[in-house]
Amino acid sequence: MCRFKCFGIKTTINASVMILVFLITYILIKFFLPKATKQNYSSVEYFIGGLFGSVLIIASILLHEIAHIYTAKYLNLVTPHEYNQLHQNKTKYT
Ligand SMILES: [Zn+2]
């Protein structure tokens, strides 16, 4: 699990992202890259291409989520974490 602050908001990247990277890499190597390239590359070259493509896909998802954080901050919206902190005492004891 990776935790960091983005625009002042606590952000977590779950460890399950590694499973997603593995699955996307596998799908790219097994199904997409052999048909898309139409050439015989070595399995190492396919692995590098699949891993690179997978990391690009995950990076684009991360960028998308960071845009959500930026938008929430820009519009002064209350994030779920901030909401829970504001109403922590209320929700615990009522
Ligand atoms: Zn979205």
Q: pLDDT band for 90, please (50, 70, 90 cuts).
A: low
Other C-beta atoms lying within 10 Å of the C-beta of residue 45 = 13
What does pTM read for this prediction? Answer: 0.73
Q: Alpha carbon of 16 to those of 12, 22, 39, 75, 90: distances in Å?
A: 11, 10, 33, 30, 33
Tell me the two tokens of residue 41: 């590359």
Going from the Cα of 63 to the center of ligand 1, the distance in angstroms, rounded, reads 10
**pLDDT tens digits, 17-68:** 999 999 999 999 999 998 999 888 999 999 999 999 999 999 999 999 889 8
Q: What pLDDT sits at residue 42?
A: 92
Q: Alpha carbon of 50 to those of 38, 82, 93: distances in Å?
A: 15, 38, 51
Going from the Cα of 54 to the center of ligand 1, the distance in angstroms, rounded, reads 19
